[in-house]
Amino acid sequence: MKPINPLRLLFIGLVLTVAGWSATVVTTRYSMATPVLPATALATMGVIVAITLVLGIRVLRWRSSAKRTKALDPLLAARTLVLAQACAYAGTVLLGWHAGIFLDQLRIWNLRSDQGITWVAITMAAGGLVMIVVGMLVERFCRIPPEDSDAAPGDGKPGRGVRGEAAGEGEYAYGGD
């Protein structure tokens, strides 16, 4: 599995910012409701962030312990990594979409008496940012630091050799690629 590319997250965020802005312009033009998630979705986002952090801390504790008496369950580590990456991507989608909504609402900020939708869009975008940060942080928790070895990668001696990459890059605690 490859690490998250921050440039890919940025691109996805920009595309969804344009999509959120466009959807808000269209729904406003046709007097429809603004396509923003309800504030109660923050609770769900908080639960996802908390679960991701708890599982990531378990992997980090195992990784940083000096004497490992018990092997880390590779399935738990792989699921933690996938959850962390999904959290980062979902956060990017939420941040981009709600940033687009906020940008559209910003131009009519002074004209509206009820600015509740704008504040909900801001809080949802902030929640998306938290999801991105936690996802990328937990992904780093799942990385195994390179082992000290004089052996070249893949020469049959102890040490890690990763196909097509420098040792230590893209290696995770569950042992997969």
pLDDT, tens only, 121-143: 999 999 999 999 999 999 999 88
The pTM assigned to this predicted structure is 0.80
pLDDT reported for residue 34: 86
Lowest average pLDDT, out of 50-59, 81-90, 159-168, goes to: 159-168
On average, the pLDDT of the chain sits at 84
| Calculated CA dihedral for residues 150, 156, 157, 163, nearest 10 degrees | 50
- Tokens representing residue 59 in the block: 């992997």
pLDDT at 164: 47
Does 152 score more than 80 pLDDT? no
Q: What is the pLDDT at residue 135? A: 97
pLDDT band at 112 (very low <50, low <70, confident <90, very high): low
Instruction: Please give the average per-residue pLDDT across 53-70, as a whole number.
Output: 86
